Amino acid sequence: MKTIDLSGVKVDNVSMAEAVGIVEGFLGAPAPHLIVTPNPEIIVSAQKDEELKRIVNSASLRVPDGISMVVVSRILGTPLKERVTGIDLMLKLIEQCGKQGRKIFLLGGKPGIAQAAAARLLEKFPGINIVGTYHGYFKEDSEAIKAVKDAGPDVLFAGLGAGRQEKWLERYHGELRVPVAMVIGGSLDVISGQKRRAPKWMQRMYIEWLYRLFTEPERWKRQLALPKFLYLTLLKKVI
């Protein structure tokens, strides 16, 4: 599997279909596997957070969750195949889990969000086996660890916020004894209906970031990661 280096952060050059196939292989292996979804915000944060950079670079699969990453990679002559969004990969994997009888656990969001997301997913994919849910506002790590271990899932989807989720899973993945754990950011908010995803036409035009900025203006500081990312990966190489 070929990797692309974007300012010191490794990203796997995979398509969505290839990513799904790789994860299916992980499910048949004994060792735990961590899936991360580096995007411009993560790449910028990793410049000052060596622990985060180490975790991302050592993950079993690192999918490119940002169209700007694809564009920059092509300009630099090391083109990524396509953008693989975390939420879309999550949904593909849940669909596959349903076909294979795999057990799923949802972790994250405010109290009630994971349960609401589970209900929506059961409507979308009848027959999937969601063995547990737990919110992301726990005060003691032991609370969430016990919930996951008691459920014994095959796949754990964790949305605890960028940075925290990667570090939490890296710290406890072995103890949890879950074959595959994937970070999903705010996907549970979207799936539950708490937040809306950008319309399909905006997704096709790769301007979901603009929709999020209009609907969540408090995110404006996070959006500054994009020009910083472009400077780190592109402008810094030519000026």
pLDDT value for 111: 97
CA dihedral 153, 155, 161, 164 (to 10 degrees): 80
- 95-116: pLDDT as tens digits: 999 999 999 999 999 999 999 9
pLDDT value for 225: 77
Q: How far apart (Å, rounded) are the C-alpha atoms in residues 157 and 141? A: 16
- 24-37: pLDDT as tens digits: 999 988 789 999 99
pLDDT value for 198: 59
Q: Which stretches of the chain score pLDDT less than 70?
A: 196-223, 235-239
One of 3.30.360.10, 3.60.140.10, 1.10.3720.10, 3.40.50.2300 is the CATH number of 3-238, namely 3.40.50.2300
Q: How far apart (Å, rounded) are the C-alpha atoms in residues 118 and 19? A: 23
pLDDT value for 207: 55
Q: What are phi and psi of 96, to 5 degrees?
A: -65, -40
**Domain ranges across the chain:** 3-238
Count the neighbouring beta carbons within 10 Å of the beta carbon of residue 174: 10
Report in angstroms the alpha-carbon separations of 226 from 34, 42, 145, 177.
25, 10, 34, 36
pLDDT value for 201: 59
